[in-house]
Chain A
């Protein structure tokens, strides 16, 4: 079992190291990390910080994909959460006793809670459509993907809301113990999830629902509740990612916040070795996948290639990964490397 796990993660780890090596080869200062302004500073730290929202969304997406689903509404949910938080915090410069201070429209904890709660509700809505109404996941979440950006723009009134409130910026660009604060959020979510999955039967249930929903229902697994739960969790993750993004850029744009993040998240999950056909999943793999995407983006920028080519490179990576996961392709290539139990879940 342990060997298999190692095997599953071998490819993502190798890909990540190759990308890091390429970066290091072309950019001598890449691996250099130094202490500056009271925190660690360097390209690697930058990649980690920028990958944080994607890592969060990928965690939620992994569970959804493990249940044979997909959530293409996460980008819209990111936009909704960002817009709501930005609107509730707003921030106005008020002079109190001769000191200029920023005041929020609502207290910040309330704003954060509301944004994540609404995002979780969005996820719950998706989950209900999938589990209760019985829609295909891609269509159920397509509804929110189409309507969600409209709702986000409704909240921001079609404008880009700029946030003026110092404490809020700490989320996305602050540092704790010398590391970006966003990493601690990701780590907290990851550890909580990892414990829930390895220390209880939850992980097993999620897998069984993904492998055969009907059989797991007959076996007494509350398949519907689990499906609703993973979509709600995915929504909440997207909500937190929305907070990080809006805090990092100090504004919320209903139209462009989290644009294409759903595709990056699906890509990250796929790169991490989780099959889109559901069943077995790897949280660590998805985290690695998110880091691979961010490192790739960084490499493209630092190599001086026009950033627009990013899309072509991503497409090539997706094609390569897909083909490697396809049993038919491996057969026809006849490289005859025995890979046990991979890609066998196909119905």
Chain B
């Protein structure tokens, strides 16, 4: 009798567990990231005086505004199963073109801003076209795009160009107070506001529009998406175009932040953006992930840097080692989740 009962108990177990687990599992990487962020913030507040302040938290947004914006663009590309290595150099190119036109040619900033945004968008669209039309590997196409954009920076100027234009300085220095309790006040920059706006818009696009759903479908399985009659070609070109636009916008925010144009701006930023997306819980195989998670990926990178600078005794290169270790842990987690979801079926 026992021998008959025990198998049924065992058999019913796996059936019961997944249904309870599945909802959790969907959000598990995201939950892990957010809890780790909270833990790090708590640790920082306990160990370092002055860490627990609204301004320290808002500085994460101010100092990483450009990273949030381009990581959001990267999230769409990775969700669709691709990768974009050109984001850092598109940022550099945007700062360079802006600085050159405004400072050297006396253009109005209001003409330059739309122009550079259009330029970045076109750059992304071209990459997307090459990838989609000629079935080229995204890695190589965007790698060449990265070379191209950085090279174009140097064609404009080898040296850094400082921006003294009053409009740029004004935007750069504006701080909007968002918190005032007695003595403690905290404010936020225009760049950070743009980043938050982009984030909200991206969450809307990803979850509430046909384009967003198509991105998830294409990333999940391009073949199935084709069979379902989804506009796969348009979606693929679309994500790279969106990423190009985001990079250009990040470049604009970066120009406000640095007030200069330079070919060596944002070197290696593409790695930070990819790391942020992965830490934010998006699967690199495409189809699974959240734009909201990317925000926490970026904040995580930011808080590691803040912790290391608050500590003062740790050298800056520890940032890279810790980010590498985090990447490893999260990739490992992803594999474990993937293995677990694959088993029950």
Contact = CB atoms under 8 A, between A and B. Distances in A.
Given A139-B284, A143-B331, A328-B133, A263 B143 contact: yes
B134 A329 contact: yes
A270 B140 contact: yes
Contacts of A146: 271, 275, 320, 323-324, 327
Contacts of B155: 308-309, 312
Main secondary structure on B side of the interface with A: helix
A309 B331 contact: no
A265 to B, nearest CB: 12
Interface string B131-163: 001111101110111011011101100100000
A142 interface: yes
A311 B148 contact: yes
B332 interface: yes
Interface in B291-345: 315-321, 323-325, 327-328, 331-332, 335
Contact of B144 (A129, A142, A151, A315): A315
B135 A326 contact: yes
A196 interface: no
Contacts, number: 129
B133 A312 contact: no
B263 interface: yes
Interface string A306-347: 101111111110110011001111001000000000000010
Interface range, A side? 35 or more
A143 B331 CA distance: 9
Q: Which of B133, B144, B285 has most A Cβ within 10 Å?
A: B144
B318 A139 contact: no
Nearest to B147: A315
Contacts of B143: 263, 266, 318
Given A322-B136, A328-B134, A328-B135, A311 B141 contact: no
A72 B274 CA distance: 14
Interface string A256-285: 000000010010001000001100000000
A150 B321 contact: yes
A312 B325 contact: no
Contact of A308 (B136, B154, B324): B154
Interface stretch (A14-22, A51-59, A130-138): A130-138
Nearest to A260: B147
A145 B271 CA distance: 9
Contact of A139 (B263, B315, B331): B331
B139 A70 contact: yes
A318 B140 contact: yes
Q: Which of A144, A277, A311 has most B Cβ within 10 Å?
A: A311
B195 interface: no
A313 B148 CA distance: 8
Closest 6 CB pairs of A and B: A147-B324, A150-B320, A308-B154, A311-B151, A312-B151, A315-B148
8 contacts: A70-B139, A133-B332, A135-B331, A144-B324, A150-B321, A308-B263, A312-B151, A319-B130
